[in-house]
Amino acid sequence: MTIRTARPNRGQHVPPRMHCLKKLEAIVVEMQDPKNGVKNSVQKLNVTTIPHAAAGNDIIAWINTKMKTTVEAQVFGTMLVAYGYIYPLKNHNKLVMCNDSSLYRFQTPYFWPTQKWVPEDSDYAIYLAKRNIRKKGQLEPYEQTHYNHLHEWLNHKWEFIVMQATEQYKAGRDRNKPDRVIFDCQERAYWMVNRPPVSLWLFVRGLNVFYQQAIMRSKVKSSVSLGALVKYITTYKNHDPFLAPCQPSNPWQTDHDAYWTLNMRRVEAPTKMRVERWSFSLFELLTDLRGRDDFKIFLKKEFSGENLAFWEAAEELKWGTASSMSTKAETIFKTFLAPGAPRWINIDGRTMGLTVKGLEHPHRYVLEAAQTHVFLLMKKDTFFRYLKSPTYKEIQKKALSPETHSFSPAQLQQNAQNRSPGIHPIILWQQEEEEKAKAAAASAPVDVKAVMSKIDRKK
């Protein structure tokens, strides 16, 4: 099979959950057992008497006994009504089980949800048309709207629908009154479950809003976006261990973890593949902390480290704990944004204004605009200069190209028996935190006044 772009199926309704329905079915059958099932009574409709009705409280009592529970019986009863196994005789549009003397009847298996027959729009149209034929003006407003909509939507087969409806109407007339009443109730209950009254106003309004948003959203030509997806795959092809071999070897294959030790966070010399990957995008360079370190070396030489420092601080704010937010926001303001700040970042006036104002009531995303601006600056300018810089060229030269492992079967066996435990991530994390603290202390802006007054005091 090749790729197909399927079109969304309009008019699709959620199919019932088959698995649980079989269980419900079994219970419903038990409930109708003449000996051990629910107590039966009769429904009196004017002159006609209709058998096999059951009171809500009797049904719930039966469920209590059967399932040995009192709490869930009513909810369970409501589920039976909601799925259409039992229908209420009064208040037919309220699909709940009431714990009183209100009457219910069991739905004929023909209308059970487990049947393979999915309620189609055309079936519903035939049903509504039939009711219209029987007596005009009998349809509820929501049904009338559905009817008009279906008339438009199924216009091409409307003659067929009316023909079917007429046939069914004629067949119905031939039945005796009690049977006819019962069937009408059953059918009405079935459609109440499968086409419930929904406020069409709100639905349509909501839908319109959604369409408008979808139209306004900027979209890109398929050739462009699909081209970008293909480009990504081509760029990373040689880095995908399922498509190209790992150097020196895939640890899962040879049981030797050199691949992981060579690519650790704080190696002196990274591998050539790793350094190549940094050149794919600024996002890759920053995500690999070893790459970020190298980038920082370059930025230090250019005396433009404040952009990255700001970006890192903003990330810490965004992903940090809720309680630390206001202190972090204050520090960031003092360090990067305040007039005369020691590591003042150069962003446009408008963004600066918005950010400073937002900091009066700091929230997680208060630095979003500034952070994006800074990131784009780095992405479009600094990153490319880094790739052409001596710093990058140096690390490329220094980078390792490990030789492919070739283990003999005996060696492989040995490897399997001596799998290295590596360093636990908790230990690595603790080391990282220490390094971060050291770096923060080292790069903290020097308070010139304090230093001068210290020197003065010494004198």
Partner 1 sequence: MSQDPLEGCRISAGKKSAVSLGKALHPPNLLVVVEGTCGACVAASPVSAPEGSCSYNVAHHHLCVCVRVCMAWQGLQKGETLASLKQESENLRRKLEEERGKLTDVELHQVAEKVETVAALSIKTRRVLKGHGNKVLSMDWCKDKRRLVSSSQDGKVIVWDAFTLNKEHGITLPCTWVMACAYAPSGCAVACGGLDNKCSVVPLSLDRNENVTAKKKSVAMHTNYVSGCSFTNSDMQLLTSSGDGTCALWDVESGQLLQSFHGHTADVLSLDLAPSETGNTFVSGGCDMKANVWDMRSGQNIQSFDNHQSDINCVKYYPSGDAFASASDDATCRFYDLRADREVAVYQKDSIIFGASSVDFSLSGRLLFAGYNDYTINVWDVLKGTRVSVLFGHENRVSRVRVSPDGTALCSASWDNTLRVSRT
Residue placing its CB nearer to partner 1 in the complex, 201 or 303: 201
**Contact range with partner 1 by CB under 8 A, out of 341-349, 365-373, 396-404, 447-455:** 365-373
**Structure tokens that stand for 152 in this block:** 């438009």
Q: How far is the CB of 319 from partner 1 (least distance, A)?
A: 4
Q: Are strands 41-45 and 86-88 parallel, antiparallel or unpaired?
A: unpaired
Q: How far is the CB of 36 from partner 1 (least distance, A)?
A: 25
User: How many Cβ atoms are within 10 Å of 363's Cβ, its own excluded?
Assistant: 14
Position among 94, 175, 177, 438 found at the interface with partner 1 (CB under 8 A): 94
Q: Which residues of 105-138 are buried (b: 16+ CB within 10 A; e: fewer)?
A: bbbeeebbbeeeeebebbbbbbbbbbbbeeeeee
Q: Does 441 bind partner 1 (CB under 8 A)?
A: no
Quick one: which of 27, 82, 162, 354 contacts partner 1 (CB under 8 A)?
Answer: 82
Other Cβ atoms within 10 Å of 412 Cβ, number: 15
Contact with partner 1 (CB under 8 A) among 25, 123, 257, 293: 257
Minimum distance from residue 130 beta carbon to partner 1 (Å): 21
- Footprint of partner 1 on residues 100-129 (CB under 8 A)? 113
Place of tokens 């079917």: 164
Contact region with partner 1 (CB under 8 A), list: 39-47, 91-99, 301-309, 436-444: 91-99
Instruction: Render the burial of 229-263: b for 16+ CB within 10 Å, e for the rest.
Output: eeeeeeeeeeeeeeeeebbbbebeebbbbbbeebe
Which residue from 45, 118, 230, 267 is in contact with partner 1, where contact means CB under 8 A? Answer: 230
Q: Does 237 bind partner 1 (CB under 8 A)?
A: yes
Which span (25-33, 207-215, 301-309, 436-444) binds partner 1, by CB under 8 A? Answer: 207-215
Q: Is 208 in the site for partner 1 (CB under 8 A)?
A: yes
CA distance 268 to 399: 9
Residues 34-63 that bind partner 1 (CB under 8 A): none
Measured distance CA(311)–CA(285) in Å, rounded: 14
Phi and psi based region of residue 108 (left: phi greater than 0; alpha: psi -120 to 50; beta: remaining): beta
Residues 286-315 that bind partner 1 (CB under 8 A): 286, 315
Q: Is 9 in the site for partner 1 (CB under 8 A)?
A: yes
Our CA dihedral for 192, 195, 198, 204, rounded to 10 degrees, sits at -170
Does residue number 323 form part of the binding site for partner 1 (CB under 8 A)? yes
Instruction: Give the Cβ contact number of residue 361 at 10 Å.
Output: 9
Q: Under the criterion CB under 8 A, does residue 267 sit at the interface with partner 1? A: no
> What is the rounded radius of gyration, in angstroms, for the C-alpha atoms of the chain?
37
By CB under 8 A, tell whether 275 contacts partner 1. no
Which member of 65, 108, 212, 453 binds partner 1 (CB under 8 A)?
212
